[in-house]
Amino acid sequence: MNFETIDSNINAYPDIFLNQNGVTITKKVLEYLGYPAFVLCLLDAKARVFAIRSCKSNEPKGFKFSKPKGEQKGVVTISNKNLLDPLRAVTGEDWIPDKSYKVRGFWVADAKTMCFDLNEGVQADFRPVTPSNDAE
């Protein structure tokens, strides 16, 4: 047998999750981008494609993003209104406000950019937070 160790800390797919509270970016996306400290968030409103590309800290419109690989423990969540409002405008009435949508990313190697076709978003319910019964 030829076993391979499974890394349970990294998602298998480069997904983002959009909901009413923000955009959650999986660690697989961070891995593709190289855990950048700053990124540019790009949007092609007509094609409904959102993209993330790493950039330098002094880049105009650069956005503080990730810690270095060894320090970044979880996903990155962005709740900045300046990012969310344009995304909500693009998704419009197609997406129900109190639902979460998963969008699978695709890597454009030449541009070193992770792209997300918002037309491909799949609806998912918020995961309910259930109280722990450990104290009983």
Query: What pLDDT digit, counting tens, does each position of 48-71 carry?
Result: 999 999 999 999 999 899 999 999
70 beta partners = none
What are the extents of the domains in the chain? 15-75+92-124
Single out the residue of 17, 64, 63, 67 nearest to residue 40, CA to CA: 63
What CA–CA distance (Å, rounded) separates 121 from 116?
A: 9
What CA–CA distance (Å, rounded) separates 83 from 91?
A: 13
Asked whether residue 11 carries a pLDDT value surpassing 80, the answer given is no
37: region left, alpha or beta (phi > 0 left; psi from -120 to 50 alpha): alpha
Provide the pLDDT for residue 96: 86
Residue 9 pLDDT level (bands cut at 50, 70, 90): low
